[in-house]
Structure 1
């Protein structure tokens, strides 16, 4: 299973332009970049209009078709909106934008593309361009009429042959790419590629200590070479994760003294709505992750020692595990005796799944032999590793919550609204 292990984005006006006509939107595992044209204001409006189609969805919505087909459908919708905006106001007449989007699915990478912004993969130190430039010189290179080196200085290199907003329909390139563990991907506007050769781009990314540093260095290199255009770069690294491999922060592993009591359950259900059936579709207006094409994952089984149990002797761990098991069982018996068992299906908690993604569960964060007292409601697209330590603690404390409270917490995480959350 694939997941985004790290990502970074930077944009800069450059040294020659007065305004930045590039726009981008990042919410892992979806990455969107647009380079507008048609004058400072019109170009900025075109690129922002296109990107907003994805931002308003909050990600890649569920629906029929493959990931790449759904990406292409959103690009077509963006084309319509940019075109209609251009027709509605004289100052925006003739505006357009490139648009390149990528979505990391469970098994491969989906890409949709229009224009001359570029999408690269850095694999084993080699940088390869995955998209075609929809430009005059790009077409000449593909036909073998000029070389790639000649294209870099061609007097007509700024003429593009396909863009969003020019017509009411657009042809969208879309395809899927087989990802390998450790692949690094780069989306960028021509403000980078027009100033920095591919070999230098590969050298910078491969030599940087992390993607954030690499993004900063790429922008600096474009500016040092003249910065003739706006510069936008988005970098992300993908890893292949085998479910159950390695330790993941969080997970529904509460037991013993930190487990919720019957009183906690009653408090959590006092103001909460009735329980929803497990697997019921969440409201996409509230829960972005549930509509972002992320499939539910199975939570990993609780560990007897719980977090931080360390290297305690086996005998001690066995008795500790038994004691915690009896504590959990005692809580369940109290709930049954007090008529509160049904109420446990109306409580929720936030944790992480096997792969480290923030997940909403219903029930209690216990696992007895052969019995899980919780079930998965949905899994967001937020990796817990991207959160600050403070926010990680909030996610992994497994506090019992009402449905609305739990959903609101995940929504804030997905939109980066919680204080202390690491910036994208």
Structure 2
């Protein structure tokens, strides 16, 4: 029976940001990564509140289906708690968080995911991305409007389409159940890792054979070495075969610290009017409404059309240049060739090759000799009429001398 053998969690503020808005948890069977947003005032609060609420789901379950339902309910509960916190503290308006979580139950893993934090699985040294980013550029990729390579440099690559927060009362959460086997290594991480460290580099670190904590530390170090413009959080889960586990639950990042935000008098809850807001939650990480999305799709299509026209035009120009260059080089090569043929009634040396391309002649008389065709022997005359190839001008002159010599004979 497969079970968790080792786990580890680590989080780092990175090299640019002043506070850590990520949270992570490596528990008994539950593992979570949350990436908060909403600026300095609320990102850390959002990930901390969500993580602490979801941690309550770290308990035994009778089946993977029960664990999946509990995870979904925990995320919905965290979303409601975030909305309530924003209602009580207006200065936190706009805060939100991504969440990627798994529950390991014997040979199965229940998954819940929203946002752009990710879950990966390393099996037989092959790393697979399990979750799909809920980002604007991912929608563009899925709809065929841009490529994966274009998504990496898209100006709105950080735009989130789904998060937990005060945006929706019932956010859509991706859930699934997957099989797991002994030897599997699961990775949960914030985009502070995937935005800096390549897929191949992550696969190499995970397959290195190092223990879970060393691998987590190595991945964070690679992100820091790459500049770490964002917070970085990594949770590693190793699956073994009937191994007694000794790891204790670990909380890292914002959730490891007491909540700290400005106090504001509570509003009268009886006067509360529920409202769903679609608004920026931080400078480069926000939630657009559907109209913005459609407008951007139209603009993206227009940009792609312009790019296609430019690409087509450049392609045509390069093709024409290639044809012209090839033609010039080809013609120059033909002018290094010579042959002996007939010019009127005389034998002549031609420069070029015998073939013509339509109206374009590839040969011209280089030297018209005083050797008359009628003076040649029948065999030599036939040879000249059919043309005699010469490797060079010297060879052509030698052929003329041989023909003259044959007349003398």
Q: Give the shorter-chain TM-score range.
A: 0.5 to 0.7
> Are the aligned partners of 2:9 and 2:25 in contact in 1 as well (CA < 8 Å)?
no
Q: State how far apart, in whole Å, the 1-side matches of 2:217 and 2:61 are.
A: 34
**Residue 60 (1) aligns with residue 64 (2):** no
Partner of 2:315: none
Cα drift, residue 86 of structure 1: 1.5
**Residue 174 (1) aligns with residue 198 (2):** no
SS of equivalent residue, structure 1 residue 235: strand
Residues 63/188 of structure 1: CA separation in 2 closer, same or farther (3 Å cut): same
Partner of 1:36: 36
SS of equivalent residue, structure 1 residue 72: helix
Cα drift, residue 107 of structure 1: 2.6
Q: State how far apart, in whole Å, the 1-side matches of 2:124 and 2:148 are.
A: 22
1:59-93 deviations in Å (ceiling 9; x for gaps): 13658952111111111111111111122212100
Aligned ranges for residues 168-317 of structure 1 at < 5 Å?
A: 168-241=169-242
> Are the aligned partners of 2:117 and 2:191 in contact in 1 as well (CA < 8 Å)?
yes
Q: State how far apart, in whole Å, the 1-side matches of 2:195 and 2:119 are.
A: 14
Q: State how far apart, in whole Å, the 2-side matches of 1:45 and 1:415 are.
A: 18
SS of equivalent residue, structure 1 residue 202: helix
> Are the aligned partners of 2:26 and 2:250 in contact in 1 as well (CA < 8 Å)?
no
Q: State how far apart, in whole Å, the 1-side matches of 2:23 and 2:239 are.
A: 23
Cα drift, residue 414 of structure 1: 6.6
> Are the aligned partners of 1:60 and 1:71 in contact in 2 as well (CA < 8 Å)?
no
Q: State how far apart, in whole Å, the 2-side matches of 1:224 and 1:196 are.
A: 9
> Are the aligned partners of 2:28 and 2:249 in contact in 1 as well (CA < 8 Å)?
no
Partner of 2:156: 156
Between structure 1 and structure 2, the one with the greater Rg is 2
Aligned ranges for residues 54-203 of structure 1 at < 5 Å?
A: 54-55=54-55, 57=56, 59-60=58-59, 66-165=66-165, 166-203=167-204
Using CA pairs below 8 Å that are at least 6 residues apart, which structure has the higher relative contact order?
2
> Are the aligned partners of 1:192 and 1:231 in contact in 2 as well (CA < 8 Å)?
yes
Tell me the TM-score normalized by structure 2. 0.58
> Are the aligned partners of 1:11 and 1:219 in contact in 2 as well (CA < 8 Å)?
yes
Cα drift, residue 223 of structure 1: 1.1
List gaps (5 residues or longer) in structure 1. 242-354, 357-382, 387-412, 417-424
Across the aligned residues of Structure 1 and Structure 2, the Cα RMSD in angstroms comes to 2.0
Residues 61/85 of structure 1: CA separation in 2 closer, same or farther (3 Å cut): farther
Q: Which runs of 4+ in 1 moved over 4 A?
A: 61-65, 413-416
Of 167-176 and 140-149, more deviation after overlay is shown by 140-149
> Are the aligned partners of 1:103 and 1:110 in contact in 2 as well (CA < 8 Å)?
yes
**Matched residue count:** 249
Tell me the TM-score normalized by structure 1. 0.56
1:148-178 deviations in Å (ceiling 9; x for gaps): 2222222111100000012221111100011
Cα drift, residue 143 of structure 1: 2.1
Residues 6/147 of structure 1: CA separation in 2 closer, same or farther (3 Å cut): same
SS of equivalent residue, structure 1 residue 137: helix
> Are the aligned partners of 1:60 and 1:70 in contact in 2 as well (CA < 8 Å)?
no
> Are the aligned partners of 2:118 and 2:133 in contact in 1 as well (CA < 8 Å)?
yes
> Are the aligned partners of 2:61 and 2:67 in contact in 1 as well (CA < 8 Å)?
no
> Are the aligned partners of 1:141 and 1:147 in contact in 2 as well (CA < 8 Å)?
yes
Q: State how far apart, in whole Å, the 2-side matches of 1:43 and 1:20 are.
A: 8
SS of equivalent residue, structure 2 residue 128: strand
> Are the aligned partners of 2:36 and 2:46 in contact in 1 as well (CA < 8 Å)?
yes
List gaps (5 residues or longer) in structure 2. 252-409
Cα drift, residue 144 of structure 1: 2.6
